[in-house]
Structures are given as C-alpha cells and as structure tokens.
Amino acid sequence: WDEPLITEMSRPGRRGALPPRPGEDVVKAVGPIQLPRTLARDSPPSLPEVSEVEVVRHYTRLSQMAYGVDNGPIPLGSCTMKYNPRVAARLAFDPRLETLHPLQDDETVQGVLEAIYMVQEWLKHITGMDACTVHPAAGSQGELAGVLMIKRFHEIRGELDKRRVIIVPDSAHGTNPASAAMGGFQVVEVPTGDDGNVDMEALKAALGGDTAGLMITNPSTLGLFEENILDIARLVHEAGGLLYYDGANLNGIIGRARPGDMEFDIAHVNLHKTFSVPHGGGGPGSGPVCVRRVEAAPGVTLEDLLPGPRVVYSEDEGLYRVRPPGRWSVGRLRAWIANTLAVLWAYVYILAMGPQGLRLAGEVAVVNTNYFIKLMEGHWGYSLPYAPGRPRKHEAVLSAKPLKRETGATAEDVAKGLLDAGLYAPTIYFPLIVEEALMIEFTESETKENIEAYAARLKEIAEEARRDPSTPKKWPRNTSSARVDNVRANHPRTVTPTWRVEVLRRQGRLGPLR
C-alpha cells in the first residue's frame, strides 16, 4: 500500500464532476459575472484535477487502510465502540433527509420532530432526569453546556463572583477540566483512594463557599462504580455546588442505576457511545444534556437554562414544535437544533432495544469486562491497580508496569504488538493515575472468542518481550505503516499540517513554526 495524495494524482483538465450550469437564456438575461474588482480571486485554488473513477478508487483504498468496528474489536476504553446496526443507517442515510432544511416550517417536518421529541423523552427516563435536550454536537459540548449552566445558575443566585471552582477527580476524562476552564472556572483535582473511590477527606477539604460544582463520571475511568456517590452528592449540594454527570461511561450502569437517582443535577450522554451512533473516524457525535428541575430562582429551574432549541409537543395544535432557547437559557452552542442524523440513529437504536435491550447491553458489557479480567488474572506482566477485588463495569484498566519492569516493554509497545496481530489497541496511558495504563472496553458487541483471543495476545506479547526485549520496539510490522516518527511530526521545522505547508517549505517560502 502506497497511496499517493489525491493532489499528487492531479492531471490538468481532468474532472470528477459536472456541476449544474446556468442555461444560455439565464446568462444572456444577466450578463457577465460582476464581482468587486479588489475581491475577485485571481488564481484558482490548487485543488486536484482528477476523474470520478480515480476519486472513488482513491478513497476506497484509503478506507481499506482504516479500521472500524466493522473490521474487528476496538476495545478503546471510555470510547464504547459498539456495533452500529445497519437498520439505523437505513433511516440516517435515507436520501430524502438530505433535502430537509433546518428552517423548514414545523408542519413540514413532523416525522423528524417527533423522533427528536421521543429521544428527549426517553433520555429523561434513561438518566432519571427531568428534562433533556439533544442540542449539543458531542459529549464535550454537552459538558460545556453543563458548565455554562452551572455558571448561569450561580449568576442567577448572585453567587458567581465567589463560586469560582469546579472540582474533578484525578481519574476524570480530560474533557472535564477542559470544559470547566472554558467556562472560566478554576479546576481543583481530588485524588482517588486505593479503593478506587474519590478520596472523601480530600473532597471535603476541597469543597467550600467557592465551589461551583463537581464533575464526575460514574463508573469512573477505572471502570469502578463510585461507592460513595450519595455522600458526594450530599456534600456537594451542602456546599452549594451542582453535581455534573459525565455520561461517557453510562454503558457501565445502564439498566441498573441512573444519574438522576444519584442526585446529579446535570448529566450528558454520548449518543455515539452508549446509543450506538457510529463514530465516523472521530465524529460526528451527539451529546444530549439532561437536568433535574433544581431551582435557581423562584420559577427558574435548570430546565430553563438548557441550551439551544428543543422540541415540544403542542397539545392544542397536535403538532411537534421547535421552541427556541428562552431568556434564561445559556443559548445556542451551534446554529441549529442538533446533529439530527445522529439523533435519528439513536432513535432507531433505542426503539429496537427497548428498556430490556438496553439493560441487556449494559449487563453483557459488564460481564465481558470481568470475564476479560478473569482471563488476565495472575499474569506476571499485567496488574489491575485499584481495588482488584471489586467488579469492573464497562471497562478495565490494566497496568503494564510489571511487564515494563521486567522487559522494558511499555504500554505503547503492547499497543503496537496488538496492532501487529490485527487487533485494535486499547486506550493507553489513561487514566493518568495508572502507570503504563491499558484501558480496555469491549462493550457488549464483542464475542467471547474475541475477548479470549485478545487476552491470549496480551500474554503472548509478554512472552515475546521476555524472550527478546528488542522485539516489541519493532512492532508493528504487519500494518500499512511502521511506527511513525512523532518527533519529526511535531518539530517546528518539519511539522506539516497541510500539503500547502510542504509545498511552501520546499519552495523556501515558509520558515519554521514560530
């Protein structure tokens, strides 16, 4: 495989599409194109000139050098890469939807509005919250929504000046502190105890009059259910803060426990994780946000603070209606209502699963995790830090520290050794509180056989590393590229984020990135 860039395939005069042209009558009626002289483009953009045949082949070949759930297991921890059922594609890819403009009158899109409305409703029951919006484009935008709502909440209460701190556990996803910072908050981390729970003494010490809120995912990134969650909720609420639920790990408890019941005030969920929307190589996703009706002021609850337009049902009219954000709302986070196709995908998924199916999915995901742990139990190369006796939920975090100590092979080497066997690697070096972390989430979509093969390969890697410590550094050898040079990739003199940079640099027209 050595596929050129599409730009390198260019040949002057070739075309890949024949777009519409105005008729001669139109051209004649209107006359030649007039643009402000100073703003007319004087040379065409340097885009490739290729035929449709070549474009189809090129991207077909590139796709064959990619790897999705359709190719095999992707046990990336905290990513919940489950199978994306094709019946949902049947709706999301229907060509008719392509024509629906987001400003079409409500009466003309009742089918879509009803589906969005139903997803809003179902998510209320799934999360145990009082109101939901599907507006945010992804989980991190859901988090931003939550942080802005926390800010607005305290602002309405007149306490914004003093409530400057958002607390996150040290095992949190990086998005939590990043989102808090985008809301202008200071971030205070609290450590994790040996039992895998938040260190309660440290939490108590961190809480105070400056506490705006606490963001936490449960189960944690260690795959452990936070046992003290009710105490944590009580303490945060007593301190005057709001409790935010990061729903990235919802698959670990779905059907068994709900953030609303744990007294979370705000929660987001990831439709592209728990609800099986395909991840598209990085996106699009969808990150609905739900709230309990906690009062900020008389008659104003968190529901009023929710971002973006929502769909409501008008009994009088018998119509679903888009209601724009109201006066207390934190506003829009994107121009339009939602990543609608993702919401429709999740709509189909939830319809097909029903509560029983969602619960079964969660249960089997948990069984898969613990079965995998069992297979790895007692192996000399890998340990299970934090509360090894407690069952994990959606994921398990192994440490390759023993392996590294004995052979020098790192978590990254292990990852490459998995790729070499045609298996996707886990999330590595995360959470930060585990050295040489291998964070593994099979989800309910994996077969017992694949889990066994994965465990076997991990053990084989350890044996190969012990036999010859130089071997792991040579992995991978069977992939479309060998290990990439990350130093060169990031060096100011060689960093190449676009072909344009490469060309200008070759022409001596571009210096190092300063």
Partner 1 sequence: MEHPWIPNSHRAVLDEMLEAMGVSSVDDLYRDIPPSIKLSPEEWDSLPIGEGRPLREAEVLARIERLLSRNRYFTDPPPFMGGGVWPRYIPSAVKALISRGEFLTAYTPYQAEISQGLMQALFEYQSLVAELLEMEVVNASLYDWSSAVGEAILMARRVTRRERVLVPETMNPLHLETAASYAYGGGVKIEEVRVDRETGFIDLEDLERKLSHGDTAALYMEYPSSYTGVIDENIEAAGEAVHRAGGLFILGVEPVSMALLKPPGRLGADVAVGDGQPLGLGLNYGGPYLGVFAVRWEGRLVRQMPGRLIGMTVDAEGRRAFAMILQTREQHIRRAKATSNITTNEALMAIAAAVYLSLLGPQGLREVAEASWYMSHYAARKLSELEGVSAPLLRGEFIMDFTVRLPIDAAEARRRLLEKGVLAGIPLGGFSFFTRNDMLLTVTEAHSKRHVDLLVDLLDSVLGG
Residue ranges in contact with a second copy by CB under 8 A: 11, 51-54, 56-57, 60-61, 64, 69-72, 83, 85-86, 90, 94-95, 445, 447, 449
Residue whose CB is less far from a second copy, 60 or 481: 60
d(CA 208, CA 211): 5
Three-state secondary-structure class, residue 348: helix
Degrees to nearest 5, angle at CA 103 with 102 and 109: 70
Q: Is 179 exposed, middle or buried (0-12, 13-18, 19+ CB in 10 A)?
A: buried
172 closest CA partner among 413, 430, 429: 430
Residue 277 CB, nearest approach to a second copy (Å): 16
Contact with partner 1 (CB under 8 A) among 46, 205, 295, 460: 46
Residue 85 CB, nearest approach to a second copy (Å): 7
Q: Which stretch binds partner 1 (CB under 8 A): 52-60, 198-206, 236-244, 292-300?
A: 52-60
d(CA 122, CA 131): 10
Query: How far lies 128's CA from each of 206, 349, 362, in Å?
Result: 28, 19, 16
* Contact criterion met (CB below 8 Å) for 273 and 80: yes
Residue 49 CB, nearest approach to a second copy (Å): 12
181 part of the interface to partner 1, by CB under 8 A: yes
Contact with partner 1 (CB under 8 A) among 236, 243, 342, 465: 342
CB atoms within 10 A of CB 415: 23
Q: From residue 464 to residue 483, what is the string marking binding to partner 1 with x (rule CB under 8 A)?
A: ------------x--xxxxx
Residue whose CB is less far from partner 1, 10 or 466: 10
CB atoms within 10 A of CB 43: 5
Q: Which stretch binds partner 1 (CB under 8 A): 199-207, 298-306, 352-360, 399-407?
A: 352-360
Contact with partner 1 (CB under 8 A) among 70, 201, 238, 468: 70
Residue 85 CB, nearest approach to partner 1 (Å): 6
146 part of the interface to partner 1, by CB under 8 A: no
Residue 9 CB, nearest approach to a second copy (Å): 8
φ, ψ dihedrals at 374, nearest 5°:
-60, -40
All residues at 6 or more sequence positions from 241 whose CB lies less than 8 Å from its CB, including other chains? 163, 167, 207, 211, 212, 213, 214
Q: Which stretch binds partner 1 (CB under 8 A): 103-111, 200-208, 403-411, 460-468?
A: 103-111
130 part of the interface to partner 1, by CB under 8 A: no
Beta strands in 111-240 (DSSP E): 131-133, 165-169, 186-190, 211-217
Answer with the entry of partner 1, a second copy, none that 510 interacts with (C-beta below 5 to 8 A by kind): partner 1
Answer with the entry of partner 1, a second copy, none that 160 interacts with (C-beta below 5 to 8 A by kind): none
* Contact criterion met (CB below 8 Å) for 373 and 382: no
d(CA 227, CA 218): 9
Please tell me the count of residues contacting partner 1 according to CB under 8 A.
Answer: 223
Residue whose CB is less far from a second copy, 56 or 181: 56
Q: Is 402 exposed, middle or buried (0-12, 13-18, 19+ CB in 10 A)?
A: middle
Contact with partner 1 (CB under 8 A) among 157, 204, 237, 332: 332
Q: From residue 267 to residue 286, what is the string marking binding to partner 1 with x (rule CB under 8 A)?
A: ---x-x---x-xxxxxxxx-
Contact with partner 1 (CB under 8 A) among 133, 175, 211, 301: 175
CA dihedral for 474, 476, 477, 481, sign (positive or negative): negative
Residue whose CB is less far from partner 1, 331 or 405: 331
Residue 90 CB, nearest approach to a second copy (Å): 7
